[in-house]
């Protein structure tokens, strides 16, 4: 079955630690995205990538980093510089990056700082 796999589903982090969220897709999609979801705020774009070895900052990139070494993978690192990292993180992909292309989402990773 084709789809997007995010892991882990739940993640706990101590303050001051970096953590990496995994996102893998087998849809052969060129574009991949990371969104952050907070209650009552909808989804906000962190980073996106249109092609391997290239990525762009979204609206809230501070405190996050990404890489796109393979078409299938787009991991997100939440660094210690992110002041309020507790949130639900969603990875998505689309076949291209045109206006009408729909995004397919993974099941999300819930990150909690303890």
Q: Is 54 in the site for other proteins (CB under 8 A)?
A: no
Q: Report the residue number, 1 or 99, with the smaller CB distance to other proteins.
A: 99
Q: Is 84 in the site for other proteins (CB under 8 A)?
A: no
Q: Is 108 in the site for other proteins (CB under 8 A)?
A: yes
Q: Report the residue number, 80 or 95, with the smaller CB distance to other proteins.
A: 95
Q: Distances from the Cα of 51 to the Cαs of 17, 70, 114, in angstroms?
A: 29, 9, 35
Q: Chain-centre distance of CA 14, in angstroms?
A: 20
Which of 22, 50, 65, 67 is close enough to bind other proteins by CB under 8 A?
50
Residue in the structure block whose two tokens are 């849809």: 27
Strands 76-78 and 19-25: antiparallel
* Contacts of other proteins in 29-48 (CB under 8 A): 31, 40-45, 48
Q: Is 23 in the site for other proteins (CB under 8 A)?
A: no
Q: Report the residue number, 16 or 42, with the smaller CB distance to other proteins.
A: 42
C-alpha 73/C-alpha 106 separation (Å) is 12
Q: Report the residue number, 12 or 81, with the smaller CB distance to other proteins.
A: 12
Taking alpha carbons only, the member of 88, 77, 103 closest to residue 39 is: 88
């Amino acid at each position: 079955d084709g789809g997007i796999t995010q892991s882990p589903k739940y993640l706990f982090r101590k303050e001051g630690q970096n953590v990496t969220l995994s996102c893998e897709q087998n849809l052969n999609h060129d574009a991949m995205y990371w969104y952050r979801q907070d209650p009552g705020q909808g989804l906000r774009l962190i980073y996106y990538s249109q092609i391997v070895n290239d990525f762009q900052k979204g609206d809230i990139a501070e405190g996050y980093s990404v890489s796109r070494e393979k078409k299938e993978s787009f991991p997100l690192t939440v660094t210690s510089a992110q002041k309020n990292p507790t949130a639900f993180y969603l990875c998505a992909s689309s076949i291209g990056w045109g206006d009408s292309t729909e995004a397919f989402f993974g099941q999300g990773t819930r990150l909690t700082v303890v």
